[in-house]
Amino acid sequence: MDKKALLSELRIDRSDEDSSGTGRPIKWFVAIAVVAGIGFVGLYIDFPTEAATTPVRTVVARTMAAAPAGDSVLDATGYVVARRQATVSAKVTGKVLEVLVEEGMTVAAEQLLAQLDDSIPRAQLELAESQHAAARASLDEMRVQLRQAELDLRRTSGLAERNLASQADLDRDTLSVEALNARLSRAQQELNVAERSIDVQRQMVADMQIRAPFAGVVIAKDAQPGEMISPVSAGGGFTRTGICTIVDMDSLEVEVDVNEAYINRVYSGQPATISLNAYPDDPMPAEVIATIPAADRTKATVRVRIAFVERDERVLPDMGVKVAFLTEDVAPRPVAGPAGVLVPGAAVADSAGDAHVWVVDDARVFRRPVEVGSTRGSGVVIVAGLTGGERVLASLVDVPAEVLAEGGHVSVLQ
Question: The dihedral of CA 200, 202, 204, 209: what is its sign?
Answer: negative
pLDDT at 189: 93
How is domain 55-64+340-412 classified at the CATH fold level? 2.40.420
**Contacts by 195-200, CB closer than 8 A, 24 or more apart:** 195/132, 197/128, 197/131, 197/132, 198/125, 198/128, 198/129, 198/132, 200/128
Task: Count Cα atoms within 13 angstroms, Cβ side, for 222.
Answer: 20
pLDDT at 233: 63
Distances (CA, A) of 120 to 117, 204, 243: 8, 10, 21
Rounded Cα gap, residues 176 and 148, in angstroms: 10
Nearest 10 degrees: CA dihedral of 117, 120, 124, 127? Answer: 120
Q: Within a 10 A sphere around the Cβ of 189, how many other Cβ atoms?
A: 12
Q: How do beta strands 55-56 and 411-412 pair? A: parallel
Closest by CA position to 317, among listed 83, 95, 157, 132: 83
pLDDT at 384: 83
Question: Is the CB of residue 121 less than 8 Å from the CB of residue 199?
Answer: no
CA-based R_g, the chain, Å: 43
Tell me if 55-64+340-412 shares its fold with 85-117+209-247.
Answer: no
pLDDT tens string 181-237: 999 999 999 999 999 999 999 999 999 999 999 999 999 998 999 998 888 765 555
pLDDT tens for each residue of the chain, 414 residues long: 555 665 565 555 555 544 444 545 565 666 666 666 665 555 555 554 444 457 778 888 777 655 555 578 899 999 999 999 999 998 888 999 999 999 999 999 999 999 999 999 999 999 999 999 999 999 999 999 999 999 999 999 988 888 888 889 888 989 999 999 999 999 999 999 999 999 999 999 999 999 999 999 999 998 999 998 888 765 555 677 889 999 999 999 999 999 999 999 999 999 999 999 988 878 889 999 999 999 999 999 999 999 999 888 889 999 999 999 998 653 334 444 456 788 888 878 876 668 888 888 888 888 888 888 777 666 788 888 888 778 888 888 777 777 777 887 777 765
Q: Is 269 left (phi over 0), alpha (psi -120 to 50) or beta?
A: left
**What percent of the chain clears pLDDT 90, i.e. is strictly above it?**
46
pLDDT tens string 96-120: 999 999 999 999 999 999 999 999 9
pLDDT at 102: 93
The H-or-E segment that residue 220 falls in is strand 216-221
pLDDT at 333: 46
pLDDT tens string 48-78: 444 445 777 888 877 765 555 557 889 999 9
Question: Is the CB of residue 248 less than 8 Å from the CB of residue 88?
Answer: no
Domain residue ranges in the chain: 55-64+340-412, 72-83+250-326, 85-117+209-247, 119-201
How is domain 85-117+209-247 classified at the CATH fold level? OB fold (Dihydrolipoamide Acetyltransferase, E2P) (2.40.50)
Distances (CA, A) of 213 to 112, 113, 228: 10, 10, 21
With vertex at residue 384, the alpha carbon angle to CA 382 and CA 388, rounded to the nearest 5 degrees, is: 65
Rounded Cα gap, residues 127 and 129, in angstroms: 5
pLDDT at 198: 94
Rounded Cα gap, residues 107 and 101, in angstroms: 8
Right CATH for 72-83+250-326 from 3.90.1520.10, 3.10.20.30, 3.40.1390.10, 2.40.30.170: 2.40.30.170
Q: How do beta strands 106-107 and 301-308 pair? A: unpaired
